[in-house]
Every structure is written in C-alpha cells, then in structure tokens.
Amino acid sequence: MNRKLISICTILLGLVVISCNNASQHKRNSVANPVAIKESTSVKQIANTPALIYAKPEVPVLCYHRIADGKKGDYTVSPATFASHIKMLADSGYHSISPAQLYDYLVYNKDLPEKPFMITFDDSRVEHSTIAAPVMEKYGFRGVFFIMTITYNKKNYMTTDEIAQLAKAGHTIGLHSWDHTMVIKYKEAADWQKQVTEPKKKLEKIVGKAIEYWAYPNGVYDHKGAAELSNYFKLSFTLASKRDSIVPLQTVRRMIVPEWTPQGMHTSMHRTFGAKKI
C-alpha cells in the first residue's frame, strides 16, 4: 500500500516537473522567437550556383586608367572625353551601381536600378580623385577605385588621404595588388602574402572598411588563381578576357575605354556586354 502511494507520488511529482519544464521552455521560445525569425530569413537567401551566375545577363563594367591631355593609347582619355562619356551615360538614363549591388544581383537575384553600369579605375592615379570623382559626383554617380598599394603618396598617384576621402564620398575602394605583379606569377604563400594579404589589411586600415573587391593586374588570371582569390574577395575583375564558368564571381568582365566619342563608347558597351535586359 505504502509502496503504491510512493509510486503515485513519484508520478505526480514527475508530471509537475515536466509541466514546469514546458512552461520555462515556452517562455524561452517566446523570448527567442524574434531572433529565430530573423535568422531564418537570412538563411532562406540561397546563393545561386556558378552555372546560374554565369547565365545571368552581364552588367556593363567600364575601366579607365589615365585621364590626361596629350597622351594617346588604349589606357588614356582626355578630361574632356571622360566628362563627355559620363554626361552621355547620365543623359541616357544610366545608373551607376556598386560592386556590392552587382554581387547581390549575381548571387541573390536582387534587383538593380534601370540601365545599370559600373565605372572602375585602375592604378591609383591622382587624377582619379582630382578629375574623375568630381565629374561623377556631379551626376550622382559613384565609382570603384582599384589601388596598387606601392603607389601610396607617390608623385602622380593618390595620397592615402585622397583614397580615404573617396571611400567617405561613397565610392568603393578595391585592391589591385601591391606592385602590379600578375596573379599567374604568385607561386608561393609568401607571394600571396605580399601581393594580397598585407596590402588588403593596410588598405582596410586607410579606408576603415573591408576591402572585398579585386582587379587583376594586366587583367590576367588563370583558373587556379581565380579560385584562390575567392578566399579573399567577393568579386574579382578582369579586363577583356572571357569569364571562367566555374568561378564567374572572380572573373567579372570589364571593357577598357579609350579615347572614344560618347556614341562610340555607347555602341561598344552594347556590343561587348550584349543588349539582354537585366
């Protein structure tokens, strides 16, 4: 009899403990719920596969080097020509996008503004901050400046303050290696350290933001180097070469803009990147 009573008591006690546990569980859930919902929405963002990224219509990405009078060649445009290109793009209803927007479009199918394009500059020339940035800002455009960090504070190149100022004005700063050595020549860990890891860290200190984008010196890459760069950067930009279908995010194509008329530039943009609607 006593034993029966003890076992009934044990069962009752057990029920009380279970119900208390449930109550505290319920309380914990109700507090934790908002966080759980937030987490589940970010988890729901499934990244596109490389094949899907590769199949998406390309956004035109322009690439400028020198902006100066009296020089000829593919890598120089005059200040007047540069201004005429920017004015044509603004008058034609184009919207400059950032690499972050391009990444979200390629990977997560995020929307882009109408007639998107990107404007990029290589080699840290001083005129990028004294000539190009003010012209772009006049039309509400923002650009991407790829810095080779050996040029800090040298004659004809941007100072570290000018680079920081560009970032503050809403432009994006990317890396273009330490001394312009091509990626296909990085053989040892020490090469990656010298050309990528260290300059990336220093540049991040200067602009106070993560450096997440890379432009290949001379536009040259191989599959191995491109795959390795995905450990450092969200996107890497080539020049005119074909994209790599396995690592399309690390082989984003650009178009070098020489001394073209605005109409000539517009035609080339369409010819290079296609007229497919984004």
Give me the residues that bind Zn ion (CB under 5 A), please: 122-123
Nearer of residues 122 and 212 to Zn ion, judged by Cβ: 122
Q: How far apart are CB 209 and Zn ion at their closest, in Å?
A: 22
AA identity, residue 1: M
Residue number, nearest CB to Zn ion: 122
Nearer of residues 123 and 212 to Zn ion, judged by Cβ: 123
Nearer of residues 101 and 177 to Zn ion, judged by Cβ: 177
Nearer of residues 122 and 127 to Zn ion, judged by Cβ: 122
Q: Can you read off the two tokens belonging to residue 217?
A: 């010196």
Q: How far apart are CB 123 and Zn ion at their closest, in Å?
A: 4
Return the SS3 of 242: coil
Q: How far apart are CB 50 and Zn ion at their closest, in Å?
A: 26
- The distance between the two most distant Cα atoms of the chain, rounded to a whole number of Å, is 110
Q: How far apart are CB 249 and Zn ion at their closest, in Å?
A: 20
Q: How far apart are CB 65 and Zn ion at their closest, in Å?
A: 7
The span from the CA of 5 to the CA of 15, in Å, is 15
- CA distances 186 to 97, 182, 239, Å, are 31, 7, 19
Run of H or E including 157? none
Question: Cβ neighbours of residue 159 under 8 Å, at least 6 residues apart?
Answer: 152, 153
Nearer of residues 239 and 278 to Zn ion, judged by Cβ: 239
Q: How far apart are CB 176 and Zn ion at their closest, in Å?
A: 6
- CA distances 231 to 48, 108, 187, Å, are 18, 19, 16
- Taking each helix axis from N to C end, the angle separating 79-91 and 262-273, rounded to the nearest 10 degrees, works out to 60
Nearer of residues 85 and 125 to Zn ion, judged by Cβ: 125
